Amino acid sequence: MRFRSALIASFLAFIAASVYGGDASLLDQRPQPWQRREKPILSAHTTKQAWCKIVCYSPHVIHHDGKFRMWYLGTSTASRANDIVMGFAESNDGIRWTEHPDSPILTADDVPWGKIIQTPFVLFDQDDKVFKMWFVSGNVPRDKNGKLLSNDQRLGYATSHDGIAWKVHPKPLFPSARSPSVIKESASSYRMWMGSRPDVNDHNSGELYTNIYEFTSPDGIAWQRSSKPVLQPTGPARSTVYPFVIKQGKTYAMWYGCHVAGGKFELFFARSDNGHDWRTDHDRPAFPAAEDKKRFDGRYTSTPCIVKIGERYLLYYSARDWQNGYIDSQGRKRRDGSGVYSHIGVAELRNE
């Protein structure tokens, strides 16, 4: 019986490897065998740039024209503030980064209909020879204690010839949005996976963080949403948010985040044969918070971004440690019970 089970398992692994390009056994392990680095690659604690001295998170990385390019977010006033802006950094190896001296490169002043910058996703369109970015903006007012009064988040769009100077589309593309992930499948076919509320006119419910929908578009601007969410929380997962999707041959792989017990937030993994029906496992995270609570990523691993180069995967992610205290822009000691998004980490996986 054991021999038969092992034979079946080997056969299924062979089939999976044929379909997924030889890396299925690595990606389907729980947790996945990512090699973490001991220190963050960017951090609010070590940066010399004032704009991201408190919050430094939400990296989006691509490899283009021989360089790694990162767009990421930050703030310098408080851990929960509405002045979140976008910076830029470059790297030759994906590990050692140089922050752009003119960061931030995109602020609310550049968005005619929004007051924040959130969850950027960038691709270089080989057909149009231009960088395209989908991001979230809107109005998220807070009281003097940082408590959210309303949560209006909409999908925005911008283009750039160099990835630094952006031309923002004058109107939002969709009225309820969180963390877009886009694939251009042909010259007239875009697909996106993104958090969205079932009621797009509801700006207050937490359903923005529990429903991931599939979207389709002929041009990346006019989007049609699936009738039902393609991913929702099950079992121990209390949320499903921050999807990042890559296509491998004819199959799709998604990393995304979930709130779990103990005040943690961890990354999970799903597969799909069509991008619509996803196989999930909410009992076992793919990239959990580090076991060592002294690490920079001991509490949260979040906002995944995957870069695949040959047999090498790089996972860029936002991280929270267990330190709740920080100093705000006025020099006051402040506390955020959920922690502060202060770090950006990277982990590596090789199919060898």
Q: Enter the tokens of residue 101.
A: 């001296």
* Residue carrying the six token digits 């940082």: 146
| Per-residue pLDDT tens over the stretch 114-156 | 999 999 999 999 999 999 999 999 988 777 776 777 889 999 9
Extract the residue ranges of the chain whose pLDDT is less than 50: 1-20
User: Which residues have CB under 8 Å from 209's CB, separation 6+?
Assistant: 178, 195, 239, 240, 241, 259
> For residue 194, what pLDDT is reported?
98
* 258: Cα within 13 Å, side-chain hemisphere: 26
CA distance 305 to 245: 9
CA distance 121 to 283: 28
What pTM value is reported for the model?
0.93
CB of 285 within 8 A of CB of 240? no
Using CB atoms within 10 A of its CB, is residue 183 exposed (0-12), middle (13-18) or buried (19+)? middle
Phi, psi of 21, deg, nearest 5: 90, 25
User: What's the length of the chain?
Assistant: 352
> For residue 284, what pLDDT is reported?
97
Rg (CA), the chain: 20
> For residue 348, what pLDDT is reported?
98
* Structural domains of the chain, with CATH: 22-350 (2.115.10.20)
| Per-residue pLDDT tens over the stretch 19-48 | 445 577 899 999 999 999 999 999 999 999
HEC letters along the chain: CHHHHHHHHHHHHHHHHHHHCCCHHHHCCCCCCCEECCCCCEECCCCCCHHHCCEEEEEEEEEECCEEEEEEEEECCCCCCCCCEEEEEEECCCCCEEECCCCCCECHHHCCCCCCCEEEEEEEECCCCEEEEEEEEEECCECCCCCECCCEEEEEEEEECCCCCCEECCCCCECCCEEEEEEEEECCEEEEEEECCCCCCCCCCHHHHCCEEEEEECCCCCCEECCCCCECCCCCCCCCEEEEEEEECCEEEEEEEEEECCCEEEEEEEEECCCCCEECCCCCCCECCCCCCCCCCCCEEEEEEEEEECCEEEEEEEEECCCCEEECCCCCEEECCCCCEEEEEEEEEECC
CB of 287 within 8 A of CB of 301? yes
| CA distance readout (Å), 331 to 33, 60, 85, 234, 334 | 41, 30, 21, 42, 9
> For residue 22, what pLDDT is reported?
53
Using CB atoms within 10 A of its CB, is residue 162 exposed (0-12), middle (13-18) or buried (19+)? exposed
CA distance 241 to 247: 19
